[in-house]
Structure formats: C-alpha cells, structure tokens
A = this chain, B = another copy of it.
C-alpha cells in the first residue's frame, strides 16, 4: 500500500467494459472532476497487459491524485484483469462492497479493486433442464448508483444495451434479473442479415416508423416473422431505408418489452445512453409505463458510494 498524502484524496472510478474503458476522478464530496474514455475494452487487451494499459491511461491520476481505485465491468471477468467471482442474488450494496477483489501488482501506485458482478438463477420446470443462470457485470454498480441518485430502493431497473438487463430491486437488494440480447440481435439483423440491404443504418431515429415496429411487435407472430417484413416493405416500396431502420429497431425493442410483466401506471428506472433511453422511453410509454432516465452518472455514483462504504468499514 502506498502512503496517501492529503493531496491524494480522490477516487479513481473506472468502468472497464468489453469494448470501452472509461474513468473519472471523483472528489471526497462525490463530485466528478474529470473524465477520460479510451477504446481499450478488455477485448483489445492481451492477458498480462492490463496493468500496463491501466497505468498508460490513468497513471498520472493514480500517482498524483487518487487515493484508491474501483473498477466495475468486464475487467472482473475470466477474460479480464483479475476474476472477481459473481455475488449471488439477492445482493445489495453491502454484499458487493464486502466482495471486492484487490489487484496485486508491483507497478500500481494505489490500491485497486475489482467490483464483482451479480448472478442469479431462473429455476427451470422443464425435465432435465438445470436452473438457468443469469449474469451481469457493471450494471450492478449502475443500479446501486441509481438508488443513490433517485432514493428509490424498490422497483424495476432497466439497463438497455447490447445485452439489456431488467432487474427487480426490493429493499435495496437486487433480487432477480433477466438478460435480453436485444442490442446484439439488432446489430446482427441490421448489419449481417438479408435485411441489411433494405436499411439505412445511419439514419436518425424516425419516431413514427419506430412506433409502428413497436406496435407490430406485440402481435403473436413474433420477431422471426415480423423481421421479414423489413425486407418485403422495401421490396414493395412501402417504406424507405431510413424508416425501416427505425421500424426494425421498434420490432426488436418491442419484442424485449413483450416479455415483461409491466403494470400500466408504474414507473421504472432507466439507465443508458441518451439514444437508447429515448427509444426505451417511447416503448415503455406505449405500455403505459413511465421511465425515469439516468445516464453515465449512475456508474460514478455507484462507485463513489462503494468507496465511501469502504472508508466506513475498511
């Protein structure tokens, strides 16, 4: 452990995902002072090179300003820096804070810990099929951060993305969650499938076309069938490529929402990029559900709260 001068009082908070590496310097009051982002997701880092990449990206902050560092996301997976075993649901803030994995590496100039992800089990009622595990890494920090920001400790927390997460929170603990491969399905369909040639993938959101896809997605024929209409509507000249990009997005996001047990009149907490939360807000509104939207600040709030808890219970 290094000697911490009073000047080194800040937290280095890092979200190290599959494709991106983001960091923030947070002062002792929880204020974000500076942020940095790099295209150095764990897929771009060879085994054994994580410390070097960390020092390359954040070495100055680590040496001169930060007293400690917490890292959430895929850096704690088997393919990451050091594996931080999943914390089983129901899991709350204290469970995660108690299960940090500290990195041992001589080149580090401050204590660095990886935050564990969460896992849960969906019991199977099918003969011979074991319980189905589900996992998240990084989203748990966003959920804890969202609780800090909103003061809500019960309800549904939604994190859209490549692999969207729908988490149920009770008394501040994540009791259960489900992953939906919505973003990955959309990327495959819009870039790699037959439908790619009918779509203008660069077009901005067309809300009307998006909502048409949303509405259709609630019908029984399902995504495997509905997706094909992206091709035939183009073939018969009934929608253009810009409309069809939003229409297909509505079909896929709507399919994710079709699987949810949503009660009209309720509110969910929604975290993600502005482009995605906009789409999910529209989709939730179509189901009579209000979305309270949060962005990247949830990650920094969650990591700051974990660091504060460590100071209280070192």
Contacts and interface: CB of A to CB of B under 8 A. Distances in A.
Contact of A179 (B134, B182, B228, B258): B228
Given A128-B208, A129-B216, A132-B216, 7 more contacts: A130-B233, A133-B232, A135-B232, A178-B225, A181-B225, A222-B256, A223-B223
Interface in A211-248: 212, 215-216, 220-225, 227-229, 232-233, 235-236, 238-239
A258 B222 contact: yes
Interface string A186-225: 0011001110000000000000100010011000111111
Contacts of A163: 194, 228
B222 A259 contact: yes
Contacts of A238: 130, 133
Nearest to A135: B232
Contacts of A126: 212, 215-216
Given A128-B208, A188-B193, A232 B181 contact: no
A180 interface: yes
Contacts of A233: 130, 132-133
Contact of A259 (B130, B216, B224, B239): B224
A255 interface: yes
A122 to B, nearest CB: 8
A184 B194 contact: yes
B255 A222 contact: yes
Contacts of A179: 225, 228
A259 B228 contact: no
